[in-house]
Amino acid sequence: MQVVSETIDHAGIRSRRTRRPILWTPWLMLFPALAGISVFVLFPTLAVIGLSFTHWNLLSPHPAWNGMRNYQSLLSSPDFWTALLHTGIYAVSVAGVILPAGFGIAWVLNQPLKARNAYRMIFFLPYVMPLAASGIVFSGLLAPSGGLVNVLLGRLHVAGPDWLGSVHWALVSVIAVTIWEYLGFYMLLFLSGLQQLNPALAEAASMDGAGSWQRFWAVIFPQLIPTAVFAGVMVVIQTFQAFDQIYVMTAGGPVTATTTLVYYIYEQGFQFFDIGRASAASVLFVLLVGVITLIQWRGMRRWGGDPS
């Protein structure tokens, strides 16, 4: 129960003489942060909405009003839908591996196992690698000739593909490096969920004669749903924003095989200088992230309460 009052009334406690400085202090303290956020996040958000209704290639001095045309042309452009599809495949694949695997490993490493701290450390280690560095290491491992993966496949008499140069395998390769990088992070998220479990509930269930399988699904799993929803939304948002690994590994290619939504925005804005179109795609991107976040909040409210 939260009965603690929200704030302490400085003004009420201190003498009248110091009333003025205290009224200003909160704003003085907020100013640097609010200024930074306003200039680099809030104003640009409004600006990107405005720019999305204009045509501008940076050469003309001013953006020209363009109405809904950017949105119309985006929504009828196969390239945009392909980028959206790649983003979806990428997010769902990474989530589909990282969530169950992260949970499974967390489950095992939550048992009183010898050396479990060493395992936790090893699995988490890739998280500190800069994504660009991980991407280059995987490019080397996946090099068509001489790369460790294809050398190993060769030993098994399988001819490995040119991973990053193949339309079919490039996205898979980017997915692989992302999973490798973040698996430990999600393992730790689930581990923290597992450590918050109420052991009394599971014990009570086994007293009542529940088997271990029943105990898991009826007692433990419902308690983990908030963690799972949180992790699920985080992994989707994280993959939606992916850029660095794609930039160093494939630069969106071959052709458009690894062009995700963010990469598409980058190309439209910084390679084709189509600011209006890039802005319209950005607005759609924010809406998509916003919808996912809202679903999270709804989900948390629905399942996040008492498991009873």
Partner 1 sequence: MRKRRSLWVWHLPLALFSLFMLVPLWWMVVAAFDPMRALLGGHLALWPVQWKLSNFAAAWKSQPFGRYYFNSIVTTIAIVTLQIATSTLAAYALVFLPFRGKRAVWALVLLAMMIPIQAIFIPDYLILSQLNWINTYQALILPFAASAFGIFWLHQAFRNVPRALVEAMVIDGASPWSVLWHLVLPNTRPAIMTLAVLNTVFHYGYLFWPLLVTNTAAFRVLPLGLSYFVAQQSGFMQWNLMMAAVLMTVAPMMALFGLAQRYLRAGVMHYGLRG
| Least distance between partner 1 and beta carbon 92 (Å) | 19
Question: Please, what's the b/e burial string for 10-30 (b: 16 or more CB within 10 A of its CB; e: otherwise)?
Answer: eeeeeeeeeeeeeeeeeeeee
Look at residue 65 and give its three-state secondary structure: strand
Looking at the Cβ atoms of 121 and 204, the one nearer to partner 1 is 121
Nearer to partner 1, 22 or 218 (CB): 22
Residues 6+ apart with CB under 8 A from 233: 292, 293, 295, 296, 299
Angle at 49 between CA 46 and CA 52, to 5 degrees: 150
- Residue 112 burial (10 A CB sphere; 0-12, 13-18, 19+): exposed
Q: Which is nearer to partner 1, 82 or 241 (CB)?
A: 241
State which residue, 93 or 245, has the beta carbon closest to partner 1: 245
As measured in angstroms, the least distance from the Cβ of 93 to partner 1 is 18
Please provide the distance, in angstroms rounded to a whole number, between the alpha carbons at the two ends of the chain: 18
For partner 1, the closer of residues 65 and 273 by Cβ is 273
Residue 111 CB, nearest distance to partner 1 (Å)? 6
Ramachandran category for residue 67: left, alpha or beta (phi over 0 → left; psi -120 to 50 → alpha): left
Q: Which is nearer to partner 1, 66 or 134 (CB)?
A: 134
Question: Residue 55 pairs with which residues in a beta bridge?
Answer: 64
Q: Both tokens of residue 72?
A: 């119309």
Q: How far is the CB of 218 from partner 1 (least distance, A)?
A: 20
- CA-based angle 257:262:264, to the nearest 5? 55
Residues in the chain: 308
Q: At 54, list the tokens.
A: 């204009």
Q: Is 157 exposed, middle or buried (0-12, 13-18, 19+ CB in 10 A)?
A: exposed
Identify residue 296 by its one-letter amino acid code: Q
- Measured from the CB of residue 269, what is the shortest distance to partner 1 in angstroms? 5
| Least distance in angstroms from the C-beta of 190 to partner 1 | 7
Q: Cβ of residue 89: shortest distance to partner 1, in angstroms?
A: 18
Nearest distance, CB of residue 279 and partner 1, angstroms: 6
Residue 89 or 234: the one with the smaller Cβ distance to partner 1 is 234
Burial of residue 98, with CB atoms counted within 10 A of its CB: 0-12 exposed, 13-18 middle, 19 or more buried: buried
Which one, 16 or 114, has the nearer CB to partner 1? 114
